[in-house]
Amino acid sequence: MRNFPWPWPTLAEAGRCRAQWWARRWLQALLAGLLALLMLILPPAIAHAQDAERDTAALELLEALDVDSFPAKGEAIDAIVASEDDRARYWLQSLLDGRLQRADDGRFVVVLDNTGRDWPVEDALNGEALGEMSRRELDRIGINNALRNQLRSAIAVVDLYAADLELRRASAERLLGEVDSELAEPIAAVIDEEADSRVRQRLTLALAIHRLEQGEVEAVETLQGSLHSRVRVALNRAASSDDPLLAAAAQEAVNSIEQNLRINRGLETLYFGLSLGSVLVLAAIGLAITFGVMGVINMAHGELIMLGAYTTWAMQQLLPGQPGLALILAIPAGFMVAALAGIAIERGVIQFLKGRPLETLLATFGISLILQQLVRTAISPQNRTVVTPEWMSGSLVVNDALSLTLNRMYVLGFTLVVFAALMLIMRRTRLGLEVRAVTQNRAMARSMGIRATRVDIMTFALGSGVAGLAGVALSQLTNVGPNLGQNYIIDSFMVVVFGGVGNLWGTLVAGLSLGVINQILEPWAGAVLAKIIVLVFIILFIQKRPRGLFPQKGRAAEG
C-alpha cells in the first residue's frame, strides 16, 4: 500500500497528485516514442551519409584514372588497390577489359556488351542499370601494355584477400614472376596472415623470384628444389648473371631441378604406360579366356568391346544430366549386352566350326564387319562422345612437374578389380573349376561328367562380357565409334600370345609391360614405328619361348 503523508490529504490535494502522476506517465511515453522514432530515422540517415561519403571517395579514385598521363594512371591504380574498397576488383577488371568508360554526363559506367550500335551499361559506383548508350556518348579510358601488366598484378593482389580459397590460390599462381618492388611489401604481409599452405608457398616463391632478380644469392636457397616452370626460368636467367657467386648458385640449383625433372618425367611415362597397359589388359583378358579354353581366334572380339562402349553412350542418353550414374549402370549393362552377343556368336557360328581355326577366324572376321555396319546403320557412322563424370575429371597434382589424370587412374583401378574378380571366379567357383578342367583336357573332363558344351557357352559369354567392360572403360578415354574395336584387336592378340595362352597372370603382366614399352618408345620412334618394334620383339621372343611368359603346365601344355 502506498504511504500517504500524515495527516490524510484532502480531496483536492489527492486530485492534484493523481494529475501529476498521469502527466509524468504521458511525458515518459512521449519521450519513449520520440526515442524510438529517432532510432528508426538516424541509422538510415547515417548509412546514407556514409554511402555518400564512400561514393565521393570512389568518384575521386575513378577521376584519377581519367587523365592523359599513363604514369598518373598507374598511381591511380595503386590508390584503388590501397583503398580496400570492395568494388576495387570490379573497376580494375573492367579497366583491363576496356569496359570502364566515362559518359558525356560525367558518370563512370561499365559496358556490359560492346556488340552492336548501342551498348547496355551500368553505373560503376552502384551497379545500377542505365539502359543503352551510343558509342558517341562514351569515352574509353585508355591503357598501355605497362598498365595492363600492372592491372593483372593489382587484380591478383586484390584476390589474395578474397574469401574464396580457389580464387586466392589462382591469384598466388599468377603472381609468380610478376612481383615488383611495390608489390613485395603487401605480399609479405599476406604471407603472414594467410592460413592456406599452398597460397603461402606460392607467394614465398613469388617473393623469392623478385629477390633473385634483385641479385640476392639467399633467394636461390628458397627456390632450390621447386619444379615450377617460372622458377626454372628465373634461375636460368640468374645463371647467366654477371655476379659469379649468384650465377654459380643458380646453376647448381638448375642442375638439381633438371635431375628431379627427369625422375618425374620417368614416373609420368610409367604412369601413362601402366594406364595404356591396363586398357590392353581389359581388351585382351576376355580373349585370353576364350582362346585358352576353346582355341577360338575370335576376330569379332573388338566389336564386343565396341558394343560395351556404345552401351555406355546409350545409358547416358537414357539418363541425361547424370553421367556418373549412367556410367555406374553401364558396367553391368555393358557386360550383359556383350555377353549376350557373345552367346549368339558362339551358338550361331562357332559351335559348328570347332577344330577348324582358319574357318573360325574368317567367320568371326565377317561377324565383325556385320556388327560394324549394323552400328553405322542403326546409330551413326560418326563418333559419339561419352561425357566423363565430374569425379573422374581433372588430375591429381603430385607436384609442379607431375600430375596424374583421374580418368586413367580409375581405368587402371577398374582393370585390377576386374582381374581380381576373374581370378576369384576361376579359383573359387564351380564354373572356374570346370573351365580349368576343359582347358587342360577336354576329353577327360567330358568323361568326368562335365558338360563341355555348357562350359564353352559360359566361357564365351564371360570372355565377351569382359570385352564389354573394356568398352565401358574405353568410353572414358576416347570417342565411341564403329571402328573402336579394330584399334585393339591386334594388340589384344599380341598380349595373349606374349603372356601365355589362357593364363590370366600372363595377360596382366604382358599387357602392362607392353603398355610401358610402347610409352617409352613412342617419344623417339613414333607411334607406328613403336608398334612395329614391339611386334618384332614379340616375334623374336616367341621364337625362344613359344608358350609365352607364363606357359601352362601339365596336360594343358601338351595339347
One domain for residues 141 and 270: no
Kindly report the average pLDDT of the chain as a whole number: 83
One domain for residues 277 and 131: no
Instruction: List pLDDT tens digits, range 123-166.
Output: 888 888 888 888 888 888 888 888 888 888 788 878 887 788 88
> Could you tell me if residue 67 is inside a domain?
yes
pLDDT at 180 over 60: yes
One domain for residues 373 and 520: yes
Residue 426's pLDDT is: 84
**pLDDT higher at 479 or 3:** 479
Question: Which domain CATH number covers 298?
Answer: 1.10.3470
Q: What is the 3-state secondary structure (H, E, C) of 388-453?
A: CCHHHCCEEEEECCEEEEHHHHHHHHHHHHHHHHHHHHHHHCHHHHHHHHHHHCHHHHHHCCCCHH
> Could you tell me if residue 153 is inside a domain?
no
Residue 79's pLDDT is: 84
The residue type found at 239 is A
Percentage above 90 pLDDT, the chain: 16
- Domain count of the chain? 2
Question: Which region, left, alpha or beta, applies to residue 106 given φ > 0 means left and ψ of -120 to 50 means alpha?
Answer: left
> Could you tell me if residue 333 is inside a domain?
yes
> Could you tell me if residue 358 is inside a domain?
yes
Residue 339's pLDDT is: 93
- Give the Cα separation of 514 and 491 in Å (integer): 9
pTM above 0.75, yes or no: no
Question: Which domain CATH number covers 85?
Answer: 2.30.30
| Domain span including residue 480 | 264-558
Instruction: List pLDDT tens digits, range 95-129.
Output: 888 888 888 888 888 888 887 778 898 888 888 88
Please report which confidence band the pLDDT of residue 557 belongs to, taking 50, 70 and 90 as the band edges.
very low
Please report which confidence band the pLDDT of residue 49 belongs to, taking 50, 70 and 90 as the band edges.
very low
Domain boundary among 145, 178, 209: 145
Q: Among 210-219, 301-310, 347-356, which is the least confidently predicted range? A: 347-356
> Could you tell me if residue 77 is inside a domain?
yes
> Could you tell me if residue 25 is inside a domain?
no
Report the relative pairing of strands 138-140 and 118-123 from DSSP bridges.
Answer: unpaired
pLDDT at 4 over 50: no
Residue 498 makes CB contacts below 8 A (sequence gap 6+) with 506, 510, 513, 514, 538, 541, 542, 548, 549
pLDDT at 61 over 50: yes
> Could you tell me if residue 516 is inside a domain?
yes
pLDDT at 501 over 80: no
What mean pLDDT comes out for the span 229-249? 88
pLDDT at 7 over 60: no
Domain boundary among 145, 180, 203: 145
> Could you tell me if residue 216 is inside a domain?
no
Residue 314's pLDDT is: 93
The residue to which cell 584387336 is assigned = 489
Of 421, 450, 420, residue with least CA distance to 435: 450
Per-range mean pLDDT, top range of 43-47, 270-274, 433-437, 503-507: 270-274
Overall size of the chain counted in residues: 559
pLDDT at 559 over 60: no
Domain boundary among 102, 118, 145: 145
Tell me the three cell numbers of residue 457. 557357352
Residue 17 makes CB contacts below 8 A (sequence gap 6+) with 9
Q: Among 50-59, 153-162, 263-272, which is the least confidently predicted range? A: 50-59
Instruction: List pLDDT tens digits, range 409-462.
Output: 999 999 999 999 988 988 888 888 887 777 777 778 778 788 878 888 888 899
One domain for residues 271 and 130: no
DSSP assignment string, 273-316: HHHHHHHHHHHHHHHHHHHHHH----TTHHHHHHHHHHHHHHHH
